[in-house]
């Protein structure tokens, strides 16, 4: 890379850090092209990005951002993964690391808070944003369903009582 390309790369990475909410740092020693391609495909499917970057350039891009705490993790062959949905990027990175020993999750940052590998693992175990929304909708919808059932019950009971009176009147 020449200087202009390096400046553009640092600027684009800094813009990414300004827009995203979660960054995961991984060590990817020995991943071949097919494995990196598979990881990137999984990341894209989850709405995340995965980029292998030179540590020096990544450190320059991190300066002045809320993610500057992950700078200490950038040693050796590292790569960055990021997304606006923090659970999605953590899930994909942790799941891929479980199936491939060459990828190791070093840590990450959720906003200004720096996470170690255990923190990223804990975040990956949370349900996704879509699942949380579905649960919340179910919780909100449950009282309305119960109220409708309670309101229908007296009307059903009255109909049964009137039906019973009608049967006794017909029998008599």
Judge whether residue 38 has pLDDT over 90. yes
In a shared domain, residues 23 and 100: yes
Give the per-residue pLDDT at 67.
86
Domain count within the chain: 2
In a shared domain, residues 91 and 148: no
Q: How many CB atoms lie within 10 A of CB 159?
A: 10
Residue of 41 and 13 predicted with greater confidence: 41
Give the domain range for residue 133: 128-172
Tokens of 50: 């995965």
DSSP 126: S
Whether the predicted model's global pTM rises above the 0.75 cut: no
In this predicted model, what pLDDT tens digit does every residue of 128-149 receive, in sequence order?
Answer: 777 778 888 877 877 766 666 6
């Amino acid at each position: 890379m020449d200087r202009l390309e390096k400046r553009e790369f640092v600027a684009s990475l800094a813009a990414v850090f300004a827009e995203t909410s979660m960054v995961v740092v991984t060590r990817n020693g020995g991943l071949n092209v097919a494995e990196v391609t598979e990881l990137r495909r999984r990341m894209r499917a989850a709405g995340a990005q995965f980029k292998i970057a030179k540590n020096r350039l990544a450190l320059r891009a991190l300066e002045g951002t809320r993610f500057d705490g992950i700078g200490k993790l950038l040693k050796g062959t590292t790569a960055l993964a990021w997304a606006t949905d923090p659970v999605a990027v953590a899930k994909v990175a942790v799941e891929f690391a479980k199936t491939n020993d060459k990828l190791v999750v070093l840590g990450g940052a959720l906003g200004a808070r720096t996470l170690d590998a255990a923190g990223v693992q804990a975040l990956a175990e949370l349900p996704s944003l879509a699942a949380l929304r579905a649960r919340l909708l179910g919780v909100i919808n449950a009282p309305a369903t119960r109220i409708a059932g309670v309101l229908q019950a007296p009307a059903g009971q009255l109909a049964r009582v009137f039906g019973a009176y009608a049967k006794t009147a017909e029998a008599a």
